[in-house]
Amino acid sequence: MRHELLLGDQAAARAAIDAGIGGAFSYPGTPATEIFEYIEDHVRRVGPGSRISAMWSANEKVAYEEALGMSYAGRRALVSMKHVGLNVAADPFMSSAITGVNAGLVVIVADDPGMHSSQNEQDTRYYHEFAQLPLFEPATQQQTYDQVLDAFEYSERVGLPVMVRMVTRLCHSRANVTPRQERDSEGVVGGALSARAYPRPDPNDWVLVPSNARRRYRRLLDLQSQLVRDSEEASENRLRLAGARGIIAAGIAQNYVAEALGGFEDDSLLQIGRYPLPTGMIRRLVEHCHQIFVFEDGYPFIERRLNGIMGVPGKAIRGKLTGDLSLDGELTPDSVAAALGATYVSPALPLGDLAARPPQLCKGCPHADSFRAIVEAAAPLGNAYMFSDIGCYALGVAPPFRAVHSCVDMGASISMAHGAAQAGSHPVICTIGDSTFAHSGLSPLVGAARADANMTVFILDNATVGMTGTQESMSCGQALIDIVRGLGVKPEHLHVIDPLAKHHESNVALIRREIDHRGLSVIVPRRACIHVKRQSKDAAPVAAERSCAGPCGCACNSNGSTSHSTSSTTPAGQPA
């Protein structure tokens, strides 16, 4: 079997293809985007004969439900998202732990410790515990491939969705992976699987009215001891008892420990790659050692469990809670070595010598002309509230615009503006991108239209999901206008403008008129992102091979390289 050089994301995708999935479901979000893009590209290459469906979903909740529906219907399904996407999908996710699944359902969630491209660094392992579902946490690209493949089998064995947690460094770095199937083996395992019967379970299992939900929840609780037993026996969790100093290393932290200690094997070591935590192994390690260091990227999830409220008498548990490691940001070989008192010479480049490059909108970006017009129109009216959202346009926070006063979560601009309008504020302005609008902006606009809220909404239609690398947007062009009208916005207060310098004066005049209108107005500045324009000029490139479509303009492959992808194909330092 030949090696393939794959990103962590691609290794996960390749495993899902080899597992014979019927579909991949996702909404773009760094650092998970390339998982779906690899499968999308595979489907494109296979052509109409492909047995995999791969279409972006409107948001993560929709993606999750589509995947769950496919699993109920007897085909394996993959759903992938960035960490905050699971907040959006949390409702079906939590309930699916109770309904269970039919064909295997694997949920890959990519965390972003250090917030390279995110608004927070929440740790997905808490969701595993919250939903009481099994979770795999690979350390390498090969483990990612193997664990995703195994996760499908395990999902079917226990009848539950199985989670896989990845982190940015793993998603966006490459290593050789040996797949278990020949390249493009779509259907090899899948063919066998479709021969495997997925008899339709009792539909009552899926109907969570209280009488069924109580019964199904009991089943989930009863399964917990088996999940722990499976974790104890799983090859992903490994215990080596040696010296009196103990180390627990979870997921990618295993690499940092290995690098920091350089093959030094006198310590006792517990490698964690699968949850629920193998409590028996942990007990054996703690009994054997006086001092236990815990290394985990993200929150002190394991460390907290070890300590409980009272700590472990006679043992020193050290990690993030004791200040040996920072509570925020990523682990690094340096920080791990420092905590262990090891000598480690970092091969890192002296990046401190580089000048800071604050993120900014690309030259020629349509959002810049939109903000120029909005700011000028609002200026004479005093201190406007300008709610905004997540996308390239969040860069309107910087000078010279300073036109973004909030960026909280996808779709929040419209609801927050409505709240401010209800507080009696004026002018209230909000800016939201076309994809973010499809993701979570529709429902709040229904409420605002119904109330004829005194606010002006700008839906910035640049014909793409710019921030995450120019994926297809679900609501742009005429479709966007039809949707907005359908939601109840009055046609006389719905306008499309062309955000170009030559239309600046007329745009300012129209915007001022609509801000003065005491009721809801929606204005759609419509002009394509310059990278979409460039792509259509260059004719449809194959996703995996095109050069960077992002605003950074670097020469990387758009499916990512470590250096590029930590800032994604997006303006660096922005939620993506």
Interface with ligand TPP (CB under 6 A)? 27-29, 60, 82, 84-85, 88, 390-393, 410, 433-436, 462, 464-468, 473, 575-576
Residue 198, number of CB atoms within 10 A of its CB: 18
Please state whether beta strands 494-497 and 520-525 pair in parallel, antiparallel, or not at all (unpaired): parallel
Got the DSSP string for 446-512? HHHHHHT-SEEEEEEB-SSBTTTT-BPPSS-HHHHHHHHHHTT--GGGEEEE---GGGHHHHHHHHH
Nearer to ligand TPP, 149 or 410 (CB): 410
Smallest distance, Å, CB 245 to ligand TPP?
40
The reply on whether position 500 binds ligand SF4 by CB under 6 A is: no
- Closer to ligand SF4 by Cβ: residue 426 or 533: 533
Provide the minimum distance between the beta carbon of 168 and ligand TPP in the complex, in angstroms, as a whole number: 13
| Number of C-beta neighbours around residue 520 at 10 A | 25
Q: Tell the smallest beta-carbon distance from residue 246 to ligand TPP (Å).
A: 38
State the minimum distance, in angstroms, from the CB of residue 528 to ligand SF4: 8
How many residues appear in the chain? 576
Q: Pull the structure tokens for residue 406.
A: 């909030």
- Which partner in ligand TPP, ligand SF4, none is near 85 (CB below 5 to 8 A by kind)? ligand TPP
Return the percent helix, strand and coil in the chain, to nearest 5.
Answer: 45, 15, 40
If one asks whether residue 572 binds ligand SF4 (CB under 6 A), the answer comes out as: no
Contacts of 572 (CB under 8 A, 6+ apart): 357, 359, 552
Q: Does 525 bind ligand SF4 (CB under 6 A)?
A: no
- 137/369 with CB nearer ligand SF4: 369
331 vs 392 by CB, closer to ligand SF4: 392
Which of ligand SF4, ligand TPP, none does residue 575 bind to, with CB < 5 to 8 Å depending on kind? Answer: ligand TPP
User: Which of helix, strand or coil describes residue 275?
Assistant: strand
Quote the distance between the C-alpha of residue 423 and its chain's center. Answer: 34
Name residues whose C-beta falls within 8 Å of residue 88's C-beta, 6 or more positions apart in sequence: 59, 60, 61, 81, 410, 439, 440
Among 281, 231, 1, 259, smallest CA distance to 140 is for 259
The set of residues, in sequence order, having a beta carbon less than 8 Å from that of 364 and lying 6+ positions away, is 530
Does residue 527 bind ligand SF4 (CB under 6 A)?
no
Nearer to ligand SF4, 422 or 557 (CB): 557
Strands 135-136 and 105-111, bridge-based pairing: unpaired
Rounded least distance, CB 51 to ligand TPP, Å: 27
**Contact status: 530 vs ligand SF4 (CB under 6 A):** yes
Which among 161, 33, 15 is positioned nearest to 90, based on CA atoms?
161
Selected binder of ligand SF4 within 418, 439, 531, 564 (CB under 6 A): 531
Residue of closest CB approach to ligand TPP: 433
Answer yes or no whether residue 466 interacts with ligand SF4 by CB under 6 A. Answer: yes
CA end-to-end distance (rounded Å), the chain = 36
Q: How far is the CB of 576 from ligand TPP (least distance, A)?
A: 5
Rounded to 5 degrees, what are φ and ψ at 446?
Answer: -60, -45
Q: Which is nearer to ligand TPP, 268 or 468 (CB)?
A: 468
State in angstroms the smallest separation of the CB of 26 from ligand TPP. 10
Which residue's entry shows tokens 């900014």?
360
Q: Residue with structure tokens 């392992």? A: 125
Rounded distance between C-alpha atoms, residue 544 and residue 294, angstroms: 38
Is residue 46 a contact residue for ligand SF4 (CB under 6 A)? no
d(CA 76, CA 25): 11
252 torsion bin: left (phi>0), alpha (psi -120 to 50), beta (else): alpha
Specify the residue, 370 or 456, whose C-beta has the smaller distance to ligand SF4: 370
Q: Is 362 in the site for ligand SF4 (CB under 6 A)?
A: yes
Longest CA span, the chain: 76
Beta strands, E only, 467-549: 494-497, 520-525
- Residue 569 CA to residue 566 CA, distance in Å, equals 9
Which member of 52, 365, 457, 543 binds ligand SF4 (CB under 6 A)?
365
- Picked from ligand TPP, ligand SF4, none, the partner binding residue 497 (CB below 5 to 8 A depending on kind) is none
| Total residues binding ligand SF4 (CB under 6 A) | 12
88 binds, among ligand TPP, ligand SF4, none (CB under 5 to 8 A by kind): ligand TPP
Q: Which does 140 bind (CB under 5 to 8 A by kind): ligand TPP, ligand SF4, none?
A: none
Binds 560: which of ligand SF4, ligand TPP, none (CB < 5-8 Å by kind): none
Q: Are 389 and 410 within 8 A, CB to CB?
A: yes
- Residue 465 binds which entry of ligand TPP, ligand SF4, none, with Cβ cut-offs from 5 to 8 Å by kind? ligand TPP
What is the smallest separation between the CB atom of 396 and ligand TPP, expressed in angstroms? Answer: 10
Cβ closer to ligand TPP: 431 or 456?
Answer: 431
In the block, residue with structure tokens 């493949």: 149
**Identity of the residue, 80 or 271, whose beta carbon is nearer to ligand TPP in the bound complex:** 80
Enumerate binding residues for ligand SF4 (CB under 6 A): 361-362, 365, 367, 392, 462, 466, 529-531, 551, 571
